[in-house]
Structure 1
Amino acid sequence: MNRRSRLVSRWLLLIALVATVVGADETLHYPATSGDGPRSSLVIHGALDLPQMRPLLEGFQRQNPGLAVRYRNLTTLELHERFLAAPDEADVLLSSAMPWQYRLANAGHAGSLESPAAQRWPGWARWRRELFAITFEPIVMVVNEAIIERFGEVRSHADLLALLERHAGALQGQVVTYDPASSGAGYTYAIEESRLSPRYWDLVAALGQAETELVDTTGEMLEGLIEGRYLVGYNLLGSYATARLVDQPQLRIVVPEDYTLVTQRLALIPRQAPHPEAAERFLDYLISETGQGVLARETTLGAIHPALDGPGTATLLRQERGEALRPITLGPSLLATLDDLKREALLTRWQREFTP
C-alpha cells in the first residue's frame, strides 16, 4: 500500500470511528471490533484536544479491540466539576490542572495501580501509585520575527523584561498572556514563577505598562498571534504551540534559557470507576514504552518514559536544556495553589503590579 493509500485508509478509519462535536462537548467513540461484547467498555474524561488524544486511543484499541472506548474532551474546570457531581461516570481522568488532580487523589478519590509498569514509573512523575504524570510540556513564549528583527533576540525572561521596559510604547496592546484571575493554568504558572524568579513582579509590571491583553487559553493566544493582532505571547503551552505553528514561519517559539516551567498532564483512576479493569489497562498503556512511544512520535506532548530518548521526549529536552527546566513538582505543594487566602493575596498583588 503506497503512502497516499495509507492516508486515505486512515481518514476512512477515523470517519468510521465516529468523531462528533456537539457544542463544547467533543467526543471520540471507538466501537469494539471483537471480543467480550457490549459490557466491555472504557470511558475517559480528559482536558486534551482531540488531535492529540486520537493517536493514543487508536494505539490502545489496536491492542484491545474488544473494548469500546469513549473519550470526552472537557475544559479542566468542567472535568473537575463533572467528576465531583458524578464520581462514578468516568473510568479515567486526564488533566493538565495539576493542583485539582492532586487534590482529588489526596482526598481519596483515586484508586491504586499496582502493575509492574506503575512500580517502575519515575518517582518524580507519580504520587504514590494513584496519580501519574504522562507528559512533559514546557511553557514557552512566542515572538513574531518582526520584533526580533527590530529589537533583537528574545531568549529568556530577562530579555522579555528588557524588551517590555524599553519598548512598551511600541508594543501597546500587542502582547498577550494568561489572565491568572480567570485561568487555572495562568494562576498556576503565576504562583510558580513568583516562587522561582525574584524579578517576576517586575515582569508583571512591565506587561501592564505594555497594556498586555489577558486571555483564558493558549488557543486564544495562538489565534491572535497567527492573525497578527499580537506580536509577543507569554506563557503558552508549548505542546499546543508546536502543533499549531508548524506552518507559521513568522512566529518563533522560544523555550526560555534562564528558566522554563514544565507542566505535566496527570492521569488517575477514580475509586468508583464503572470499568476498573479497563481503566487499569488504559493507564498501564499510557505509561508503557509502547504508549509513550506513540505519544513521542505522533503528538507534541513530550514522553516521560525513561527508555525513550529521541525527539519528543523528556530525556532529549533535559539534555538540551539542562538545569533551566523547572518541572512543577507533583506533591503537597500543589495544594497551596488552591488555598483561598493565598490565591486572594497573589491575585491582589498581581493586579496591583499589572495596573499602571
Structure 2
Amino acid sequence: MNRLGRLACRWLLLLGLVGSPAAADETLHVPAAPGSEPGASLVIHGALDLPQMRPLLEGFHREHPDLEVRYRNLTTLALHERFLARPDEADVLLSSAMPWQYRLANEGHARALESPAARRWPAWARWRQELFAFTFEPIVMVVNEAVIERYGEVRGHADLLALLERHAEALRGRVVTYDPATSGAGYTYAIEESRLSPRYWDLVAALGQADTALADTTGEMLEGLIEGRYLVGYNLLGSYARERLADQPRLRVVVPEDYALVTQRLALIPRQAPHPAAAARFLDYLIGETGQALLARETPLGAIHPAVEGPGTATSLRQARGEALRPIALGPGLLATLDDLKREALLTRWQREFARRARR
C-alpha cells in the first residue's frame, strides 16, 4: 500500500467510518430485462447498507429496465482504497465520508453532471456540478422521559448545559456521547460545533464533570440508552436514532432548537467511469423527485429535494427548525478533518476541557 493509501487507512480508522468486515463486499445484482442491449450496465460502489440501498436500486431499475445494475456494499475505507487502486471500475461512488469524497472531487477525480436536475439541486447540497449530497441527517440528542419528568425539558444545547451543570452528580455516568479521539463522526461534529457555539467548550467541560461515557458509534450509544445504562445521549446520528427508537416511547429524539448539525451522504461520478451515461441516469434519479420521494418513504435517511415532504425530510425539518439547521458545508473546510496538526490541536483542547471540572 502506498503512502496515500496508508494515510487513508489511518484516518478512516480514526474517523470511525469503517464498518464490519462481513459487509465488506455484498453485491446486489439486478439483471437487465430480456432483449436489452448487451453490455448496458451500471456499477455502483456505496457505503450504504442493502436495506437502505435496495429500494433505491429497485426503483431505479423499474424506470430503466434496460440496464444491468450491480451494487457493491463496501465500508468507507474499502470503497476509498478500491477507488484509488481502480479508478475506472465503478460508475458511481456513494459515501458518508464527506471529507474523502470532497477530496476526490477537489483533486479532479469527479465527472461533472450537466443536467436540469443537477442545475436545480440546492447550492448548499452540491459542490460545483461534481459532488451531490442526497440525504439529510440531523445530529440529535436522545433524552429519557425520566430526566424530563424530574428536571424539565431539554430542547437545545443551553438546556443540556444547564442540566449537566446543575445535576452532574445525579447524572454521573448516565450520559453518553462520541469520543472525538476515536470516532470521526465525533471529531467532525466537534470541529463544527467549536466554530458554531461560543459555549461549546463549557459544554465539553460539563460533560466531563458528569463523567460522561465516550463511545465510537451511534449504535453503541443507542444500545446503552435502550438498556437503561444511559439517560441522555448527545450527538447521535438522527436517521439511525429515529429508526431504532421507533418502539421506545420512553426515549425522546430531540433535534436541538438552537442549532442542529446535519450530515449528508455524498455521490459522485468518477472521471474514468466505464458507463458514464448510465451513471448520469442514476444520479439524476437519486437527486430527482421520484428517487428522493422513495428515499423519504422507504428509508430513514431523510430526503433533500424541496418538493418532498414527510418525517425527517429537509423540507419538514426546515419548516419546524428553520435556520437552526446547520448542514455541514461542502467546501474546503472539510479538508481540516484530514489535517494532522489541526486534529491534534482540537483534541488536545477537547481532552483538557473534558478533564477540567472532573479534577475539581
Q: Distance in 2 between matches of 1:207 and 1:81?
A: 36
The letter for the 2-side match of 1:92 is V
Residue 87 of structure 1 aligns to a residue whose secondary structure is coil
Structure 1, unaligned stretches of length 5 or more? 1-20
C-alpha spacing 1:56/1:257, structure 2 compared with 1 (3 Å): same
Note the C-alpha offset of 1:273. 2.1
Residue identity (%): 82
Q: Distance in 1 between matches of 2:144 and 2:87?
A: 44
Paired with 1:56 and 1:73, the residues of 2 have a C-alpha distance of: 14
Q: Which residue of 2 aligns with 1:174?
A: 174
Residues 29 and 68 of structure 1 are in contact (CA less than 8 Å); yes or no, is this contact kept in structure 2?
no
Once the two structures are overlaid, the 10-residue window that deviates more, 85-94 or 115-124, is 85-94
Cα separation, 1, equivalents of 2:62 and 2:90: 21
**Distance between the aligned counterparts of 1:321 and 1:279, measured in 2?**
34
TM-score normalised over the length of structure 1: 0.89
RMSD over aligned CA atoms reads: 1.9
Q: What's the counterpart of residue 152 of structure 2?
A: 152
Question: Contact (CA 8 Å) 1:27, 1:70: kept in 2 or not?
Answer: no
More displaced 10-residue stretch of structure 1: 251-260 or 339-348: 339-348
Task: Tell me if the contact between 1:297 and 1:312 (Cα under 8 Å) persists in the aligned partners.
Answer: no
**Hey, what does 2:161 align to over in structure 1?**
161
Partner of 1:140: 140
3-state SS of paired residue (2:138): strand
User: Cα deviations across residues 163-214 of structure 1 (Å, max 9, x unaligned)?
Assistant: 1122222222222111212222111111000000011111111112222222
How many correspondences in the alignment? 336
Per the TM alignment, residue 158 of structure 1 is displaced from its structure 2 partner at its CA by 0.9
CA displacement, residues 258-315 of structure 1 (integer Å, 9 cap, x when unaligned): 1111111110011122332222111111011110111121122221112224444212
The separation in 2 between residues aligned to 1:148 and 1:38, in whole angstroms, is: 61
Q: Report the counterpart of residue 191 of structure 2 in structure 1.
A: 191
Q: Letter of the aligned partner of 1:27 in structure 2? A: E
Aligned letter for 1:327? P
- Which residue of the partner structure matches residue 23 of structure 1? 22
Report the more deviating stretch, 110-119 or 331-340: 331-340
The corresponding residue for 1:286 is 286
**Counterpart amino acid of residue 86 in structure 1:** R
TM-score by length of 2: 0.88
Is the partner of 1:23 in helix, strand or coil?
helix
| Structure 2 unpaired stretches of 5+ | 1-19
> How far apart, CA to CA, are the structure 2 residues paired with 1:160 and 1:38?
59
The match for 1:125 is 125
**1:72 CA displacement:** 2.9
* Stretch moving more, 107-116 or 90-99: 90-99
Q: Residue 237 in 1 paired to residue 237 in 2?
A: yes
Distance 1:215 1:89 in 2: 35
Distance 1:177 1:79 in 2: 27
Instruction: Return closer, same or farther for 1:224/1:88 CA change in 2, 3 Å cut-off.
Output: farther
Instruction: Return the offset for 1:22.
Output: 7.2
Give the SS at the match of 1:222: helix
Runs of 4+, deviation exceeding 4 Å = none
**Using the alignment, how far apart are the partners of 1:341 and 1:149 within structure 2?**
44
Q: Which stretch shifts more, 227-236 or 69-78?
A: 69-78
SS at match of 1:337: helix
Q: 1:45: which partner in 2?
A: 45
